[in-house]
Each structure stands twice: as structure tokens, then as C-alpha cells.
Amino acid sequence: AAASLERALRIEPRNPRLWHELARVRLKQGQHAQAESVAARSNSWAGDDKALRAENWRLIAQSREARGDTEGAKAALESANR
């Protein structure tokens, strides 16, 4: 799945949905820091898509929680709820 998404991103590098899906895959793979980074990239391209931005912040919160950053996870969830 990751390889297919990476190929798609080479074709369409500004697609925030593709970045989000790659972040989900990275989270499932246990690559928490990379998942957070990729979700942040998705947010940088998400523009006015509030639902996608909230999904990304929730994914970032999960990633931070998995790495033991409870305060960072809490802050990410607050961003998701804004």
C-alpha cells in the first residue's frame, strides 16, 4: 500500500488525501514519527478542508500517544476539535 501511495504522490504531490492515506499506513506500520510528519504535510496542502485537517490532527495525536508524548497528543486533539 505504501509503495502505491508513494507512486501516486510522485504523480500528484499536492494531493492532501494521498498524504493522509500514507500517514495512516505509516501509523499502522508503527512508524509513528513518520506518520506524524506525513500527516502534517497533508495539513499543509489541505487548505479549507476542515474535515481532513481534523482527521490529520487525530492521526498526529495517535502517533504522539504511541511515542509517549501525552501532552503533545492532547494538544493535537485540541487542534482537531477547533
* Per-residue pLDDT tens over the stretch 17-63: 999 999 999 999 999 999 999 999 999 999 999 999 999 999 999 99
CB 42 within 8 A of CB 59: no
To the nearest 10 degrees (0 to 180), the angle between helices 70-80 and 50-66 is: 170
* pLDDT at site 1: 87
CA nearest to 53, candidates 44, 64, 66, 65: 44
pTM for this entry: 0.93
The three-state secondary structure class of 71 is: helix
Output the nine-digit C-alpha cell for 81: 476539535
* pLDDT at site 24: 98
In whole angstroms, what is the distance from residue 40 CA to residue 9 CA?
A: 15
